């Protein structure tokens, strides 16, 4: 019986084991295909939503360049995609602080108390101690240079009572300025999934803070300051790299990447640039430099035509802070304006002169009658010492010019044979005339266009005038530019530097990188003064339009800032 049962149970056990194995194998094949499909679906979903991770963080690159004079967007790349502002948040923190200064509720020397919570913030920080105070002006400079998170909370608590209340005020202010896609949850920009903005909104803030607080905006150009004996250096590397940069703020967190808001005033042009989500500080700065240099020539050069950014009436209570919303089309931040006309390159001033060419015969009382000749435009004279005076065919010096105050007269070259002069006078269009410099005002009379036999020969020598005195009497230009600056055609600029040796070194490196395109160009530096500092522009002259653009494209691919200029 037992044997039978044992023999009977053995097949049953084997059968059940085989059945279980079959079921497992079947299950394995059944799951293989769904797993593969799931992986493919996940991959496509990741591509479709590359800017939003599963944890809710917003990542990715975006950028915008706005012409501050017209409000026109010159370049945008995902400008309305939600991103985390990081420390660029502190621009809005200072906006609300500047309001308090403007209203007289605080002064630059007012003391702000430091709480335990403020002192405990994560770096970067100024390391202020709880229970101590910091003056408003030092607090402003600490945010601009070190981007101090502890000081940002000090400001928030002093103005809003608490950081959460202050963040609600920041969000309400953003809505009032038209920053419809911006939400703030703290004053420093430390990581928070719900604290989001866009490149377009930050460009609006960059213009608005200059419009509203021109006096206090100047703090954004602070490169370093001294606090309790320690020199605090700034993080903004755009100073000296791009000519005309006057601020304003960098930012970085792991979730946001490297961000930068930049303002540039170069003569009559005004650009605001935003770059977000850079992979490194260097790549972010390089991209900003390329965008500014590429679009500077497209910017409107003239008086501002767009109205200043103004605030709309805000609600009595701060609006609730929403969770991050999906990317949607943003409303226009800046009022639409007619497209301004580009200013043409101004031509050099044209100086013209007419020449009296008829002299009455000896003993005649007939008045001198001018004979019309061709008027030839001449280029602006280069600053240089005056040449020796020119003498007329009669043997005396040519009297200085008095025709419409012209300082350059058209006439034959000095001491030219009269036989060669007469045909040119008789038929002025036959050959180009040579400029003759004169020293002061007075009538100019040249010999009559009579037969060569009746014209006395030109003198072979004559007394010379004191050229040194004439040169001293002539007004000196404010700055003498290199000869290369006056070469016709096109030029390129590869940056402006704080020292001439840096500019020359950059020129040498650029010429080595683009030898095939810049071999015939003429490198030179040009010193300019911006505020209290001197900059040296690094330029190549003597190019045509096509060559200048090709050289810039090649240099930009090699991490050079480059822009083309028409000479």
Query: What are the backbone angles phi and psi of residue 532, rounded to the nearest 5°?
Result: -100, 5
In Å, how far are 385, 407, 440 from 402, measured between CA atoms? Answer: 21, 9, 8
Pairing outcome for strands 533-543 and 522-530: antiparallel
87 in active site: yes
**Range 336-351 burial, b when 16+ CB lie within 10 A, else e:** eeeebeeeeeeeeeeb
Q: Quote the DSSP letter at residue 66.
A: E
Confirm if 131 and 119 have CB atoms less than 8 A apart.
no
Nearest C-alpha neighbor of 430 from the set 438, 439, 421: 421
Structure tokens at 105: 């509720």
Please indicate if the annotation marks 13 as binding a ligand: no
Choose the catalytic residue: 62, 72, 90, 263: 90
Closest Cα to residue 404, out of 443, 462, 362, 459? Answer: 443
Q: How far is CA 527 from CA 41, 156, 232, 479, in A?
A: 59, 43, 29, 9
> CA 100, CA 105: separation in Å to the nearest integer?
5
In angstroms, the CA 63 to CA 199 distance is: 6
SS3 for 71-83 is CCEEEEECCCCCE
Here the tokens at position 71 are 């409000």
Beta-carbon contacts of residue 123 (< 8 Å; ≥ 6 apart): 149
Q: What is residue 447's three-state secondary structure? A: coil
Pairing between strand 563-566 and 490-497? Answer: antiparallel
Q: How many CB atoms within 10 Å of residue 66? A: 29
Catalytic residue among 62, 72, 141, 147: 147
User: What strands, in cross-sheet order, belong to the sheet with 269-278?
Assistant: 73-77, 62-67, 269-278, 257-266, 245-253
Task: Record the tokens describing residue 536, joined without a space.
Answer: 């040296």
Query: Nearest 5°: phi and psi at 345?
Result: -65, 130
Catalytically annotated residue among 62, 87, 188, 263: 87
Positions at the binding site: 249
Positions at the binding site for substrate: 249
| Catalytic (active-site) positions | 87, 90, 147
């Amino acid at each position: 019986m037992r044997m039978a049962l044992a023999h009977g149970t053995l097949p049953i056990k084997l059968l059940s084991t085989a059945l279980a194995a079959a079921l497992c194998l079947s299950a394995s094949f059944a799951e293989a295909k769904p797993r593969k499909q799931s992986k493919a679906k996940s991959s496509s979903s990741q591509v479709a939503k590359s800017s939003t991770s599963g944890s809710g963080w917003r990542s990715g690159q975006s950028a915008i360049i706005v012409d501050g004079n017209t409000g026109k967007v010159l370049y945008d790349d995902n400008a309305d995609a939600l991103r985390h502002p990081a420390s660029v948040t502190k621009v809005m923190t200072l906006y609300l602080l500047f309001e308090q200064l403007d209203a007289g509720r605080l002064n630059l020397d007012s003391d702000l108390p430091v709480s335990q919570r403020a002192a405990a913030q994560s770096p970067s920080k100024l390391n202020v101690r709880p229970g101590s105070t910091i003056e408003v002006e030092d607090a402003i400079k600490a945010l601009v240079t070190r981007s101090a998170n502890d000081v940002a909370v000090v400001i928030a608590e002093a103005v809003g009572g608490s950081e959460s209340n202050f963040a609600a005020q920041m969000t309400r202010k953003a809505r009032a300025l038209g920053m419809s896609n911006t939400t703030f949850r703290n004053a420093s920009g430390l990581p928070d999934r719900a604290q989001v903005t866009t490149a377009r909104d930050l460009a609006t803030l960059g213009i608005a803070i200059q419009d509203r607080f021109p006096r206090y905006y100047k703090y954004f150009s602070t490169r370093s300051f001294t606090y309790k004996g320690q020199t605090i250096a700034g993080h903004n590397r755009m100073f000296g790299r791009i000519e005309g940069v006057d601020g304003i703020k960098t930012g970085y967190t792991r979730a946001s990447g490297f961000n930068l808001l930049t303002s540039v005033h170069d003569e009559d042009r005004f650009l605001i640039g935003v770059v977000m989500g850079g992979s490194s500080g260097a790549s972010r700065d390089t991209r900003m430099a390329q965008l500014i240099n590429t679009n500077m020539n497209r910017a409107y050069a003239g008086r501002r035509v767009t109205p200043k950014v103004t605030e709309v009436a805000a609600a009595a209570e701060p609006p609730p802070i929403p969770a991050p919303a999906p990317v949607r089309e943003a409303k226009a931040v800046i009022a639409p304006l007619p497209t301004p006309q580009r200013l043409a390159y101004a031509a050099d001033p044209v100086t013209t002169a007419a020449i009296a060419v008829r002299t009455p015969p000896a003993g005649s009382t007939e008045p001198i009658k001018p004979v019309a000749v061709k008027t030839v435009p001449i280029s602006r004279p280069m600053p240089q010492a005056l040449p020796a005076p020119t003498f007329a065919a009669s043997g005396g010096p040519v009297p200085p010019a008095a025709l419409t105050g012209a300082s350059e007269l058209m006439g034959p070259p000095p001491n030219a044979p009269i036989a060669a002069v007469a045909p040119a006078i008789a038929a002025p269009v036959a050959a180009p005339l040579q400029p003759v410099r004169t020293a002061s005002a007075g009538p100019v009379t040249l010999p009559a266009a009579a037969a060569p036999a009746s014209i006395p020969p030109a003198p072979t020598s004559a007394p010379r005038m004191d050229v040194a005195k004439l040169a001293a009497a002539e007004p000196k230009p404010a700055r003498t530019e290199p000869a290369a600056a006056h070469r016709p055609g096109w030029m390129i600029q590869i940056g402006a530097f704080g020292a001439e040796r840096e500019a020359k070194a950059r020129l040498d490196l650029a010429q080595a990188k683009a030898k095939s395109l810049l071999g015939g160009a003429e490198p030179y530096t040009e010193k300019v003064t911006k505020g209290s500092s001197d900059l040296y522009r690094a330029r190549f002259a003597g190019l045509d339009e096509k060559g200048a653009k090709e050289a810039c494209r090649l240099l930009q691919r090699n991490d050079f800032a480059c822009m083309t200029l028409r000479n």
